[in-house]
Structure 1
Amino acid sequence: MRLDRFAATLAAAACTVLAVPADAHAAAIACGGSVSTQGITANGCISAERWKDGHVFMRNITAHTIVTNTRPHAAYVEYEAFFRVVSGGHWVKIGNGRTLVQRRSTVGPIEIGNTDRVCGPVNVKVEIRVHVRPAGGAWSNWTGAATSQCQT
């Protein structure tokens, strides 16, 4: 129990210290809450980068995850990410993958997938959701993160 609490605190701290990347055009990563299953903890994270295609402003939304393994042995972890526009959108899968997480360690942020969207006339809120599972195990609940699609 104490180790699980420590791992959750460590994951939250890792999300907190994620700063804006050195590339001036790269977007900052914002993480949501954490979920866990069978000794594997994950945070869903989102980044959004605004760019222009001719006269049209676009937004590249990327889903990430940070995965912590509290088990006494390494584990392969599978993950999936889905995306939607909050106001009436439906969930669309944007990526999945698998990674090896060493015992009692954290990896990430791992980019899962991304999608480009046209910026609308208003600052539309978008969200991602991520879930994980250790190889051969059960899927966790969903963890998510949200951002405004076309903020400056």
Structure 2
Amino acid sequence: MKLKRLVATAGAALLTPLVLPADAHAAAVACGGGVSTQNIGARGCISAERWNDGRIYWRDITAHAQITNSRSHASWVEYEAYSQAGSGDWVKMGSGRTIVQRRSTVGPIAIATKTRVCDTVKVTIRVHVRPAGGAWSNWSSAATSQCQT
């Protein structure tokens, strides 16, 4: 019995790196609070990577969504991300659609990336979700004001 448990634990440990999202580096992603609608939950997340073109520092701001389905069946879920720099207008960054299996979480899913000059302006993204045939959730926000990863 102990051997079976040990083999199962070792197998799970070996498979864990294979199921992590390839497009989002967990250490560089910061998530905000959660919102939900019809047993589908969402968290807005943001990452910022700094780079230099030789003269100017830039940052690539990426909006992410982490989606949880607590329903007893899989659901198609739509998501959108908007960004705001400082006190400016909200601008749509991107949108998408994915299936979330029953009682599971997916993400962070990279929705869109926007490149900005590195400055001290706080950039906020907000994400909301909608299950197929349902209503949109409220907004879940995340922000960064630093020009670093």
TM-score of the superposition, structure 2-length normalised? 0.80
Question: Which amino acid in 2 is paired with 1:46?
Answer: I
Aligned length: 125
Post-superposition Cα deviations, 1:79-132, rounded to whole Å, max 9, x if no partner, equal 00001112x211110110000000000000100001000123xx2211100000
CA distance in 1, matches of 2:146, 2:95: 22
Q: CA RMSD in A?
A: 1.3
Tell whether 2:130 aligns with 1:140.
no
**How many Å separate the matches in 1 of 2:97 and 2:133?**
12
- Whether 1:66 aligns to 2:66 is yes
**Matching residue's letter, 2:46:** I
1:38-69 CA distance string (max 9 Å, x none): 01000000000000112011010000011000
Q: Structure 2: state its 5+ residue gaps.
A: 1-24
TM-score scaled by length of structure 1: 0.79
Q: Could you tell me whether the CA contact under 8 Å between 2:59 and 2:148 is conserved in 1?
A: no
The DSSP-based 3-state class of the residue aligned with 1:110 is strand
- Summarize the Cα distance change of 1:19–1:76 in structure 2 as closer, same or farther, 3 Å threshold: closer
SS at match of 1:145: strand
| Segments ≥4 residues shifted beyond 3 Å | none
Task: Indicate conservation of the 8 Å contact 1:82/1:130, yes or no.
Answer: yes
Structure 1 segment 125-136 matched on structure 2, within 5 A? 125-136=122-133
Residues in 1 aligned to 2:114 and 2:89: alpha-carbon distance in whole angstroms: 14
2:106 maps to amino acid = V
Q: 2:78 & 2:67 partners in 1: Cα distance?
A: 10
Q: Which has the larger radius of gyration?
A: 2
Alpha-carbon distance in structure 2 between the residues aligned to 1:63 and 1:41 = 16
